[in-house]
Structure formats: C-alpha cells, structure tokens
C-alpha cells in the first residue's frame, strides 16, 4: 500500500485547521483554514499557572484546546467526524491500517518531537500536534500530511507509536479521527453564527463562571499581565531568558498564523462579512486584524527584552545589577500592553456578540 489515491497535501498556518481542511478537500468540500478556525471557535486565552513549561513558566493557551475546533466544525456544519481513542497504540495502528486500506485518511493528535521529517528546530515536545496519516510505504513507514511541512513526510512506525502516546494532561493518548459523511449543502450563516457565539462565550465568560475560572478568557489575560513584573523574582539567568522568549514564540510561531491567532480570526471575519454581506462584520474584521498586529508588535517587544538577558548563567548576576532598571521598565511596558490587549478584547468580543445576534 502506498499513498491513498486523490489526496492533495497543502501546507497550512495551523496544524488542526490545516489538517481538517486537507481532509475535507479530499472528501470534496473546499473550506478555507480561516473559516474552519472561526466556525470551530478557535480564539481563546488560558493562563495555566498550574501547568509549567520546560523552564518553569506557566503555560499559556491562545486557542481552544486541541480537538475542539474539529468537534465544533463537525457539530456546527453537520459534518460527521468519528473520533476514537485506544488504550494501546497497537490497536490505534491496526485501526489506521484498516482505514487506509479503504482509502480513508486518518487524523491523529501526536507529539511533534517525533515527527522526524520536520526540520530539527521543530523537534520539540508539543503533544497537541495534528497530522493526517495518508498512506503506508511499507510495513515500517507511514506517509504523513503535516500542515507544517511542504510535502508528504515519511515516518517510521516506532516514531509514530512514540508520538501517539503523548502522556500529556492536555491531550488524549492514541486518538484518531476520520470523516464519515459531509452534507451536500452546509448552512454557512448558521455555522458562522454558532461559531462566533461560542467564541464570545469562551472569552467573555458568564459572571458565575468568571469568578471560578480566573485564568480563562479576559480575566486570564489580565492575570497574565499582573504576573509579568514577578518574572525576575521567580526566574533567573537562562530560565528567565528562555521563558520570556518562549512566550513570544508561542504567540507568533507555533502555528498561530501570527498575532496569537487573532490575525487568522480577522481573516475569518472578513470571509463571514462577505457571506452575510455585512458592513458591520467587515469593520470588525479590520479591527481584529489591527488588534492581531498589536499582538505581534507586543511579541516583538517581548523578544527584544528576552534577547538582552545573557545566554550564560554565570553572566546574569552582574548583568542584572547593571540592567535591573532597564529590565523592569521593559517588563512594565509589556505588562501594560498585555493589559491593553485584555481591555481591547473585552470591548471587541462584546460588540461582536451583539452584531452576530442581530444578523
């Protein structure tokens, strides 16, 4: 068995929407990645102070948790997508082989570390990476459609097995999905409205939930802003430098499409405005695109701040003694910019909710 017939691979900005777009195109339905992201209620914010990254900084989530975009697109568009989870990777591989033999591509959530076809700088533990398995070259190698790679990749069965068993609290082990049916006509207006309303609920939480989940949505962004000035107290040297830099990379480079996914969401709103022929949505698209650029400018400020910190731990204390005031001034500006982002999104998504309710 080789690659399944008639599958067309395309690179994408985001792994989940990129993989879903390619699977839908194979099934005969062309939908843009931005439209899938918007209908799937992609934008979010989580300040996960109880989960730490590789240098001890709290994890930040700037999109809905993995799998929800697929789930929402399935529900709001009426697309039948079957998702299965297996206790043993051997069973997941067996099911994958069965589907491939029927010319059905399979989506999987994996740890990007083991995607050996990717360039080395992408070999990092990211257990929330979406791919499509689209063939098998021999008994030991699978063919992979990965939105982060320009062509079909080849992956050894041992690497796929290790990648599938993520052992991550944010991802389910040995999970696969595949499309079983697509409606002839999708009610785009209904799907868009439901997707936007879900996004507004996720970012502007109801009052009771807001008090309990202070790390989610607008409150999460405000909480993140309030903790930035504590960074030099909690972290020193390379850990401080890497934590600051990783924050900006997460906003811009890890499949976000730039601007913490907000630029992609602005493109979605433009496509939605065309479908509704709505000048109000078109104006909101312009606002979100500008807001996404503000996110990007903030990320650049974060990177410039991180680069000032010495690479070597032994140089840090002398540097900090001399540059302490400069560092705190930079962090204060970053904190203020993040707080501005929170207030902008608070106003924006409330207004967007009102507009979509009237359409």
Span 255-291, pLDDT tens digits:
677 888 999 999 999 999 999 999 999 999 999 999 9
The structure tokens listed for 120 are 């080395």
Cα(344)–Cα(244) distance, integer angstroms: 23
How is residue 259 annotated by DSSP?
T
**Distance from C-alpha of 95 to C-alpha of 92, rounded to nearest angstrom:** 5
pLDDT at 28 over 80: yes
Q: What is the spatial distance between Cα 322 and Cα 90, in angstroms, rounded to a whole number?
A: 57
- Whole-number average pLDDT of the chain: 93
Quote the pTM value.
0.92
Q: Is 179 helix (H, G, I), strand (E, B) or coil?
A: strand
pLDDT digit string, tens, across residues 206-250? 888 888 899 999 999 999 999 999 999 999 999 999 999 989 988
- pLDDT band of residue 170 (cuts 50, 70, 90) is low
Which of 358, 224, 356, 190 has its CA nearest to residue 302?
224
The pLDDT of residue 255 is: 63
Q: pLDDT digits over 74-126, tens only? A: 999 999 999 998 889 999 999 999 999 999 999 999 988 899 999 988 887 77
* Class in CATH terms, 15-30+80-181: alpha beta
Chain centre to alpha carbon of residue 174: 20
Partners of 153 in the β-ladder: 144
């Amino acid at each position: 068995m080789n690659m399944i017939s008639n599958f067309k691979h395309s690179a994408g900005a985001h792994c989940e929407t990129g993989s879903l777009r390619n699977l839908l195109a194979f099934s005969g339905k062309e939908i843009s990645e931005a439209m899938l992201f918007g209908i799937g209620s992609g934008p979010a914010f989580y300040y996960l102070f109880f989960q730490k990254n590789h240098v001890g900084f709290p994890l930040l989530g700037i999109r809905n948790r993995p799998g929800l975009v697929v789930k929402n697109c399935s529900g709001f568009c009426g697309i039948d997508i079957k998702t299965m989870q297996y206790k043993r990777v051997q069973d997941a591989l067996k099911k994958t082989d069965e589907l491939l033999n029927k010319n059905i591509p399979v989506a999987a959530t994996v740890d990007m570390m083991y995607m050996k076809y990717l360039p080395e700088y992408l070999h990092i533990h990211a257990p929330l990476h979406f791919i499509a398995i689209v063939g098998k070259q021999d008994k030991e190698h699978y063919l992979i459609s990965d939105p982060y790679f320009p062509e079909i990749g080849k992956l050894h069965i041992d690497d796929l097995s290790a990648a599938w068993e993520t052992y991550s609290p944010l991802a389910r082990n040995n999970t696969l999905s595949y499309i079983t049916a697509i409606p002839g006509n999708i009610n785009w207006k209904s799907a868009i409205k439901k997707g936007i309303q879900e996004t507004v609920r996720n970012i502007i939480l109801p009052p009771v939930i807001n008090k309990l989940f202070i790390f989610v949505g607008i409150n999460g962004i405000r909480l993140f802003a309030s903790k930035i000035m504590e960074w030099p107290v909690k972290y020193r040297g390379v850990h401080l430098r890497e934590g600051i830099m990783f924050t900006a990379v997460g906003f811009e480079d890890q499949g976000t499409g730039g601007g913490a996914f907000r630029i992609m969401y602005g493109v979605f709103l433009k496509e939605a405005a065309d479908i509704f022929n709505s000048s109000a949505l078109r104006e909101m698209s312009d606002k979100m695109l500008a807001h996404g650029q503000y996110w990007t400018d903030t990320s650049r400020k974060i990177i410039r701040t991180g680069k000032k910190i010495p690479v070597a731990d032994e140089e840090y204390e002398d540097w900090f003694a001399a540059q302490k005031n400069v560092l705190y001034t930079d962090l204060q500006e970053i904190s203020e910019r993040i707080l501005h982002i929170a207030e902008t999104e608070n106003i924006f998504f409330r207004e967007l909710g009102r507009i979509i309710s009237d359409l």
